[in-house]
């Protein structure tokens, strides 16, 4: 479907913004403090906006960080975080956590949420993180990454971490914004946003954005050069409406990407090789307080997702299709009724009523797969943050899930938090999580892929020790030790030329995290992190696509009396093992962004350069590729303009 | 699909046109009015007496339009400037910094960066004063009250009028 800006323009015309209201609150400012103190207050809801009430070493990225570093996709944001690494197969971008990013893993071990709403799809459990993600980075208020197993609160998929993307509100904009961008490889972006908050608290944000890109030419050893077959187009719409206790989110994305790599043995350099991924949801939330110490919220949602892949084999178009649809509801209560206890209790129900997959040749017609499935899931969870003493808090969480296909799961999580000194916090965490195999892993079959309906769920057990210290000079230090053990890891294998998913008995990751961050009062900021990840399978072999060392340094500073802001990042990774048993070399890339927010009133200009030094580098390829390593993007520039009025 | 979503969305727009019930006082509109009053009765050191008086808000809360209205006011001949979510470089220029409860995790980092600078820091959580903020706003039943940390005021070289101190529910002379 073609998405244009016309619809938004019509909306803007129909919906004039009223900025000036003269009513009671104006006089509040003129009242003396004594009188104000006698006024009766309507309490605002105090629902925590945190991704997880459970303690962890949470990483937070704010809208300001995004502007400072010029990040244009969720993937670029995640790539800057401690311990995470990216791989791009020129179709999707994959996020590696704790040394896990095996081939065939469509980010399905990370739970991705938008304002608390699950967006991993119903067929692949896939978390889409680049231009196929639903939210334009300009609409992000903050991103919270909670590493570690999150099943005790969130159920399936939260194996390695939970990412919650919180969107901006109308009040943050209070007007209109038109934005456009041009970049290397024919990249064009445009966006129109309206934001408005009314006197009575009603808040509306609505945005439409488009990305178009021609991509670049890629040379793959043995295959040749793929030229003009790397195009991308992405259309997005997002809206949120908050009125009183109600909150409505509507989101839509449709993204088409040509696949230049000749994956799955398709005809190389044929422009028809492409995939289309789309998703949309409507989510309605209601929040209320029964009394001062008991608050609850309820959520009702409907999601739809679609995928079409076209693969050309000797001129014959093979079509791969998937369709997912689900609805669900959640109810959660937060109680502080009992002294020293902060209790969270919740129920959730989800019905994936469509989990369909088809694979067929268009002409001459031949069908290889036509499967329809559905699943029901319900869960029940309880978490208690219990202040044992003024310095010691225990966090106990447990969730019971029932999955109509995979069975029952109990996911406990225990943590101890010790305020060891005025500025020092120690945490010890034991966590568990699970992931039920998805319908793609169980039932997908074509001329070169086999199903495996006997796949078992994979389960993870983790132990973590974390120390955090805040130095009075404005320096934050953190160190963590972790051990992750996975049983029955679902892994894509190539057996006699056929792709199939199998349970690997064991895999394990041990490692440590170190991070230091400093914030200067003149606005300068630096964050440096190092992660050691040692990831092995049951026989002691290093996992594929798992760098042992990760180093990141981010620095930003205001320039010319804060008129300009410079953000730089250095991301460096050691070598990764590839499927053939070889290695892709370690590499370091530098990204830089220069942003001017106040050169002219309402105008924001930024210039971002990714891979500034044009470092050539490659990452291990999956078994569907004809090559062992995939080259990644070299130096690329992007110029962005945004005008607010 | 998109057209359906859009239609659905626009059909909710008439909700926006409803008149607001003006008689009750929203918590954060009242909090904004408190901030304005604190500004009225605060004396900043010489190096923070030029330019507009900057009221900075870190985090998000339903302040309504009270903040915008504050923007049109002057205090002792100084214009008021409200900054929502100031950039790090703007932080140091704030005269009053309000940290919303949602941003508690960042509070300590912010405060360390502002240490000894003439900024009146105001929070709204139990830990605010322990974190080193000067004033904490809290609800007592349906009334909004505040506590003051004199040690933080001293560090920031800020004078708060006795009129305000008198109204505080509690004044700590040392860092609580």
pLDDT in tens, chain B (176 residues): 445 544 544 443 443 333 333 345 778 888 999 999 999 889 888 877 778 889 999 887 777 778 878 877 888 778 888 888 887 777 888 999 999 887 877 787 888 878 778 999 999 987 888 888 999 998 877 788 899 998 899 888 888 888 888 888 888 888 77
Closest Cα partner for A633 from A83, A80, A126, A86?
A: A86
Query: For residue A23, what pLDDT is reported?
Result: 37
Strands (E), A496-617: 498-519, 525-537, 549-559, 564-573, 576-577, 583-584, 587-596, 603-610
Minimum distance, in Å, between the CA of residue B43 and any CA atom of chain A: 17
- The residue of chain B nearest to residue A142, with distances taken between CA atoms, is B59
Query: For residue A102, what pLDDT is reported?
Result: 83
Count of A-B CB contacts under 8 Å: 199
8 Å CB contact of A558 and B87: yes
Q: What is the DSSP string of A45-109?
A: P-----S-SS----EEEEHHHHHHHT--SHHHHHHTSTTEEEEE-SS-EEEEETTB--TT--STT
Query: For residue B15, what pLDDT is reported?
Result: 38
Residue among A7, A42, A237 minimizing CB distance to B27: A42
Query: For residue B81, what pLDDT is reported?
Result: 86
Chain A residues whose beta carbon lies within 8 Å of the beta carbon of residue B88: 64, 519, 523-525, 556, 558
- Confidence band of A40 (pLDDT split at 50, 70, 90): low
8 Å CB contact of B70 and A64: no
- Percentage of chain A beyond pLDDT 90 is 60
Nearest-angstrom CA–CA distance, A72 and A70: 6
Tokens linked to A196: 């408005």
Which tens digits make up the pLDDT trace of A271-327?
A: 999 999 999 999 999 988 787 778 889 999 999 999 999 999 999 999 999 999 999
Q: Which residues on neighbouring strands pair with residue A286, listed in sequence order?
A: A246, A298
Give the number of other CB atoms < 10 A from CB of residue A598: 12
8 Å CB contact of B27 and A524: no
Is residue A1 situated within a structural domain?
no
Query: For residue A474, what pLDDT is reported?
Result: 65
Which of 118-137 (B) contact A at CB < 8 A? none
Name the DSSP class of A134.
S
Is residue A19 situated within a structural domain?
no
Confidence check: pLDDT of A7 > 50: no
Query: For residue A41, what pLDDT is reported?
Result: 59
Q: Is the dihedral of CA A497, A499, A502, A504 positive or negative?
A: positive
- Confidence band of A357 (pLDDT split at 50, 70, 90): very high
Residues A135/A139/A140/A141 CA torsion (nearest 10 deg): -150
Burial class (CB in 10 A: 0-12, 13-18, 19+), A44: middle
Minimum distance, in Å, between the CA of residue B62 and any CA atom of chain A: 7
- The residue of chain B nearest to residue A239, with distances taken between CA atoms, is B9
Query: For residue A186, what pLDDT is reported?
Result: 95
Which tens digits make up the pLDDT trace of A581-594?
A: 899 999 999 999 99
Chain A residues whose beta carbon lies within 8 Å of the beta carbon of residue B10: 11, 14
Determine which of A115-129, A210-224, B76-90 has the lowest per-residue pLDDT on average.
Answer: B76-90
8 Å CB contact of B1 and A280: yes
Interface check B89 vs A, CB under 8 A: yes
Residue B165's φ and ψ, nearest 5 degrees, are -55, -40
Asked whether the whole model's pTM tops 0.90, one would answer: no
- The mean pLDDT value for A395-414 works out to 92
Interface check B145 vs A, CB under 8 A: yes
Query: For residue A55, what pLDDT is reported?
Result: 58
Chain B residues whose beta carbon lies within 8 Å of the beta carbon of residue A520: 113
| Region of A517 on the Ramachandran plot (φ > 0 left; ψ -120 to 50 alpha; else beta) | beta
Chain B residues whose beta carbon lies within 8 Å of the beta carbon of residue A562: 87, 89-90
Residue among B28, B105, B113 minimizing CB distance to A521: B113
What range does the domain containing A284 cover? Answer: 55-644
- The residue of chain B nearest to residue A305, with distances taken between CA atoms, is B1
- The mean pLDDT value for A176-193 works out to 95
Give the angle subtended at the CA of A413 by the CAs of A409 and A417, to the nearest 5°: 175
- Percentage of chain A beyond pLDDT 70 is 92
Count of domains observed in chain A? 1
- The residue of chain B nearest to residue A597, with distances taken between CA atoms, is B87
Query: For residue A89, what pLDDT is reported?
Result: 93
Chain B residues whose beta carbon lies within 8 Å of the beta carbon of residue A197: 64-65
8 Å CB contact of B87 and A522: no
* A417 in Cβ contact with A427 (< 8 Å): yes
Name the DSSP class of A446.
B
Minimum distance, in Å, between the CA of residue A322 and any CA atom of chain B: 17
Name the DSSP class of A449.
B
Interface check B166 vs A, CB under 8 A: no
Q: Report the CATH number that the domain containing residue A59 is assigned in CATH.
A: 2.40.170.20
Confidence check: pLDDT of A231 > 50: yes
Closest Cα partner for A316 from A364, A250, A265?
A: A364
Nearest-angstrom CA–CA distance, B81 and A298: 38
- Confidence band of A472 (pLDDT split at 50, 70, 90): low
8 Å CB contact of B101 and A241: no
Pairing of strands A41-42, B25-26: parallel
Is residue A14 situated within a structural domain?
no
Determine which of A9-23, A431-445, A491-505 has the lowest per-residue pLDDT on average.
Answer: A9-23
Residues A319/A255/A91/A273 CA torsion (nearest 10 deg): 40
Pairing of strands A525-537, A203-213: unpaired
Give the number of other CB atoms < 10 A from CB of residue A284: 16
- The residue of chain A nearest to residue B116, with distances taken between CA atoms, is A521
- Confidence band of A219 (pLDDT split at 50, 70, 90): very high
Nearest-angstrom CA–CA distance, A476 and A472: 9
Minimum distance, in Å, between the CA of residue B56 and any CA atom of chain A: 14
8 Å CB contact of A562 and B139: no
- The mean pLDDT value for A250-254 works out to 97
Minimum distance, in Å, between the CA of residue B117 and any CA atom of chain A: 9
Minimum distance, in Å, between the CA of residue B145 and any CA atom of chain A: 7
Which residue of B14, B113, B168 to mutate against A (max A Cβ within 10 Å)? B113
Determine which of A55-64, A80-89, A133-142, B31-40 has the lowest per-residue pLDDT on average.
Answer: A55-64
Is domain B25-172 classified as CATH 1.10.10? no
Give the number of other CB atoms < 10 A from CB of residue B7: 9
Query: For residue A295, what pLDDT is reported?
Result: 84
Residue A364, preceding bond cis, omega within 30 degrees? yes
Higher pLDDT, A519 or A442: A442
Angle between helices A6-14 and B2-10 (to 10 degrees): 10
């Amino acid at each position: 479907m073609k998405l244009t800006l016309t619809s938004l323009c019509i909306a803007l015309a129909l919906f004039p913004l009223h900025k000036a209201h003269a009513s009671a609150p104006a006089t509040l400012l003129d009242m003396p403090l004594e009188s104000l103190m006698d006024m009766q207050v309507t309490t605002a809801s105090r629902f925590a906006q945190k991704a997880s009430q459970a303690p962890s070493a949470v990483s937070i990225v704010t809208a300001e960080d995004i502007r400072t570093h010029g990040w244009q996709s969720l993937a670029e944001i995640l790539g800057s975080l401690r311990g995470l690494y990216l791989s791009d197969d020129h179709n999707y971008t994959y996020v590696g956590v704790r040394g896990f990013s095996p081939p065939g893993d469509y980010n399905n071990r990370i739970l991705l949420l938008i304002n608390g709403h699950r967006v991993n799809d119903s067929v692949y459990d896939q978390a889409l993180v680049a231009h196929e993600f639903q939210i334009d980075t300009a609409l992000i208020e903050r991103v919270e990454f909670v590493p570690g197993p999150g099943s005790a609160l969130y159920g399936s998929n939260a194996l390695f971490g939970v990412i919650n993307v919180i969107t901006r509100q109308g009040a943050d904009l209070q007007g209109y914004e038109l934005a456009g961008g041009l970049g290397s490889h024919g990249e064009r972006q445009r966006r129109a946003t309206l934001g408005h908050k009314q006197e009575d608290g009603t808040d509306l944000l609505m945005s439409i954005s488009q990305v178009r890109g021609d991509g670049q030419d890629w040379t793959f050893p043995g295959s040749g050069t793929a030229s003009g077959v790397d195009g991308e187009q992405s259309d997005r719409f997002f809206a949120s409406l908050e009125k009183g206790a109600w909150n409505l989110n509507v989101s839509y994305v449709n993204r088409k990407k040509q696949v230049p790599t000749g994956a799955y043995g398709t005809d190389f350099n044929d422009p028809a090789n492409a995939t289309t991924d789309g998703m949309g949801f409507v989510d309605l939330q209601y929040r209320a307080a029964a009394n001062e110490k008991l608050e609850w919220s309820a959520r009702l949602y409907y999601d739809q997702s679609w995928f079409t892949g076209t693969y050309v084999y000797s001129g014959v178009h093979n079509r791969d299709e998937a369709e997912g649809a689900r609805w669900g509801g959640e109810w959660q209560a937060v109680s502080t009724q009992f002294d020293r206890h902060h209790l969270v209790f919740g129920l959730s129900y989800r019905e994936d009523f469509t989990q369909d997959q088809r694979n067929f040749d268009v002409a001459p017609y031949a069908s290889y797969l036509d499967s329809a499935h559905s699943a029901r899931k319900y869960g029940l969870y309880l978490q208690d943050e219990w202040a044992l003493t003024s310095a010691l808090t225990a966090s106990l969480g447990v969730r019971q899930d029932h999955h109509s296909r995979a069975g029952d799961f109990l996911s406990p999580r225990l943590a101890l938090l010790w305020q060891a000194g005025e500025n020092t916090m120690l945490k010890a965490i034991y966590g568990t999580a699970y992931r039920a195999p998805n319908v793609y892993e169980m039932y997908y079959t074509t001329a070169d892929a086999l199903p495996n309906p006997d796949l078992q769920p994979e389960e993870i057990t983790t132990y973590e020790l974390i120390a955090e210290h805040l130095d009075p000079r404005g320096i934050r230090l953190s160190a963590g030790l972790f051990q992750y053990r996975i049983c029955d890891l679902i892994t894509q294998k190539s057996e006699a030329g056929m792709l199939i998913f199998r349970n690997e008995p064991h895999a394990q990751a041990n490692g440590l995290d170190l991070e230091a961050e400093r914030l200067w009062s003149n606005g300068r900021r630096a964050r440096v992190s190092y992660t050691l990840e040692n990831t092995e399978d049951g026989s002691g072999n290093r996992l594929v696509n798992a760098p042992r060392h990760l180093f990141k340094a981010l620095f930003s500073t205001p320039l010319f009396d804060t008129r300009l802001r410079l953000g730089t990042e250095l991301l460096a990774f050691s070598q990764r093992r590839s499927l053939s048993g070889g290695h892709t070399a370690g590499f370091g890339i530098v990204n830089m962004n220069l942003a001017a927010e106040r050169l002219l009133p309402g105008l924001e200009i930024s210039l971002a350069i990714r891979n500034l030094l044009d470092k050539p580098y490659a990452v291990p390829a999956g078994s569907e590729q004809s090559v062992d390593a995939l080259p990644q993007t070299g130096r690329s520039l992007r110029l962005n303009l945004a005008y607010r009025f | 699909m998109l057209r359906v979503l859009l239609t659905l969305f626009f059909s909710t727009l008439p909700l926006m046109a409803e008149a607001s019930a003006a008689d009750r006082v929203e918590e954060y509109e009242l909090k904004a009015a408190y901030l304005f009053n604190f500004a009225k009765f605060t004396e900043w050191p010489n190096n923070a007496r030029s330019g507009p008086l900057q009221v900075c808000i870190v985090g998000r809360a339903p302040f309504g339009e009270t903040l915008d209205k504050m923007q049109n006011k002057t205090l002792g001949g100084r214009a008021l400037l409200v900054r929502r979510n100031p950039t790090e470089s703007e932080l140091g220029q704030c005269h009053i910094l309000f940290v919303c409860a949602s941003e508690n995790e960042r509070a300590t980092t912010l405060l360390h960066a502002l240490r000894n600078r003439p900024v009146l820091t105001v929070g709204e959580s139990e830990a605010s004063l322990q974190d080193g903020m000067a004033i904490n706003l809290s609800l007592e039943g349906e009334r909004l009250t505040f506590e003051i940390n004199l040690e933080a005021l001293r560090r920031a070289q800020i004078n708060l009028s006795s009129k305000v101190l008198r109204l505080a529910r509690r004044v700590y002379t040392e860092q609580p």
